[in-house]
Copies of this chain bind each other. A is one copy, B any other.
Amino acid sequence: MTRMLIKNGIFVTMDEQLPQFKGWMAIEGHLIAGLGKGEAPDREVQSATEIMDGNGLLFMPGLVNTHGHAAMSLLRGLADDMVLQDWLQNHMWPTEAKFTGDDVYWGSALAAAEMIKSGTTTFVDMYDHMHRVAEVVEQSGQRASLTRGVIGLCPEDVQKAKLADAVQFAKDWHGAADGRINVMISPHAPYTCPPDYILKFVEAAHELDLPMHTHMSETLAEVEQNVRDYGYRPVEHLDRLGMFSRPTLVAHAVHLTDEEIALLAERNVAVSHNPVSNLKLASGVARVPELLKAGVTVSLGTDGAASNNNLDLFQEISMAALLHKGVSGDPTVIPAAEALRMGTVYGAQSIGLGGVTGQLKAGMKADFIALSIAKPHFVPQTDYISHLVYASRGSDVAHVWVDGKQLLKDGQLLTLDEEKILAEAERCFRRLRG
């Protein structure tokens, strides 16, 4: 088996025991075999089949993007600066209704290319034509939690077919690609799925023993509608429908009461915070400091590129650290290290991959990235965790590995054909709009 030794690198591990140091790391097969401060021990040098000089590079866990719709990259910049309903009803939905599997494939490939180049090694994706997204992940080499997001505002036979599609996708793809692909079960949102339909997804998730993912409380209007239609705010509504009896990740969770935060904590529900998308669509500012204080696992997502408009998780990390300070008036909330945990270890934990990815630690999967730090915005060498959160961006990422395999080298994609993807994505967009 090959064994790579990285020497002389700066390592930011997200492991509380050994947060940042100059040293070495060894990779064997799919796994991190060991790491430590200072010079690599002789036994590491001797057993290495390949040695990499990490000088001028900062190594850290690959980022985990816990909410998105990769194929929506095809709609980047199509419509901005408008109210949500206008944006959805007049721009997004009419164009998305024309999406073929081919569009989903190339839109997702465009997203995969952007995510790898900006350091995201694991992502959650909720969309339609999911087997085409899974194909992209198989090829790109990333790790992903994929889920067929079902909108249930349709006749019963269509509902049935959609649920069957979601279940079939789970059966076909959960554990695929050497275990890099996991599957979740997703009613799209409480406001797009009637309660009895949500119940069927909960049942399916139990049968398949899979976690659940949904949009929840993104806007104030949908919370108010939930109360009007069903008598409860979304958290209690989903809790009563049994969703939280499964491991669940909810996206957005912008509008929460203290009681809802307490219930999410009690039920161990994880939250994907999407600060850039929430700001751009004017959904509001999620109560992240309160969620973290209550013990909720809060991770970060970009949402789709149409409401962001990029997939650079470093921007979400920085935004999470900045936004809540300014809005709360407390500059100590979400310190840099906590924001970085949200983009790595908390992300992994929120999709059942704690202990698998999101940290540099012996025995964990070799999902890691290297940033080029011989640049003005990394000087002086005060605190690399601060620099990663407040000064850096995805474009600093030079190399990416997932499952021990290199996906990006000197900024060049090794598993995807970038030129072809850009051309095909452009072609798909022209056809959709033409």
Interface residues of A (CB under 8 A from B): 73-78, 80-84, 87, 110-111, 113-114, 117, 276, 278-285, 305, 308-312, 315, 318-319, 321-323, 325-332, 335-336, 374-377, 379-383, 386-387, 390-396, 418, 421-422, 425-426, 429-430
A425 contacts B279, CB within 8 Å?
Answer: no
A309 contacts B279, CB within 8 Å?
Answer: no
B422 contacts A376, CB within 8 Å?
Answer: yes
- Residues from chain B with Cβ under 8 Å of A285 in the complex: 326-327
Closest 10 CB pairs of A and B: A279-B326, A395-B395, A380-B429, A77-B382, A114-B376, A282-B331, A309-B390, A77-B386, A81-B335, A279-B322
Closest to A311 in B: B377
Determine which of B73, B77, B87, B375 lies in contact with A376 in the assembled complex, contact meaning CB atoms within 8 Å: B73
A332 contacts B381, CB within 8 Å?
Answer: no
Determine which of B281, B311, B325 lies in contact with A279 in the assembled complex, contact meaning CB atoms within 8 Å: B325
B391 contacts A76, CB within 8 Å?
Answer: yes
Pick 30 A–B contacts, CB within 8 A, sort by A: A76-B379, A77-B380, A80-B336, A81-B331, A81-B332, A81-B335, A82-B331, A82-B332, A83-B331, A110-B376, A111-B376, A279-B323, A279-B327, A280-B321, A283-B326, A285-B327, A305-B377, A309-B377, A309-B391, A312-B393, A323-B323, A327-B327, A376-B418, A380-B425, A380-B426, A380-B430, A381-B426, A393-B394, A393-B395, A395-B396
How far is the CB of A304 from the nearest CB of chain B, in Å? Answer: 12
A77-B382, A309-B377, A379-B426 known; 13 new pairs, CB 8 Å cut-off, are A73-B376, A73-B379, A76-B379, A76-B386, A76-B387, A279-B326, A280-B325, A305-B391, A309-B391, A312-B377, A315-B393, A375-B422, A376-B422
How far is the CB of A224 from the nearest CB of chain B, in Å? Answer: 14
Main secondary structure of the interface of A (DSSP, over half): helix
Question: CA separation between A376 and B396, bound complex, in Å?
Answer: 15
How far is the CB of A310 from the nearest CB of chain B, in Å? Answer: 4
Determine which of B310, B321, B390, B393 lies in contact with A77 in the assembled complex, contact meaning CB atoms within 8 Å: B390
How far is the CB of A118 from the nearest CB of chain B, in Å? Answer: 8
Question: CA separation between A330 and B279, bound complex, in Å?
Answer: 10
A283, A335, A377, A386 — most chain B CB neighbours (10 Å): A377
- Residues from chain B with Cβ under 8 Å of A335 in the complex: 80-81
- Residues from chain B with Cβ under 8 Å of A380 in the complex: 74, 76-77, 425-426, 429-430
Question: CA separation between A276 and B379, bound complex, in Å?
Answer: 19
- Residues from chain B with Cβ under 8 Å of A308 in the complex: 390-391
B83 contacts A282, CB within 8 Å?
Answer: no
Closest to A276 in B: B322
A379 contacts B425, CB within 8 Å?
Answer: yes
B282 contacts A328, CB within 8 Å?
Answer: yes
How far is the CB of A350 from the nearest CB of chain B, in Å? Answer: 23
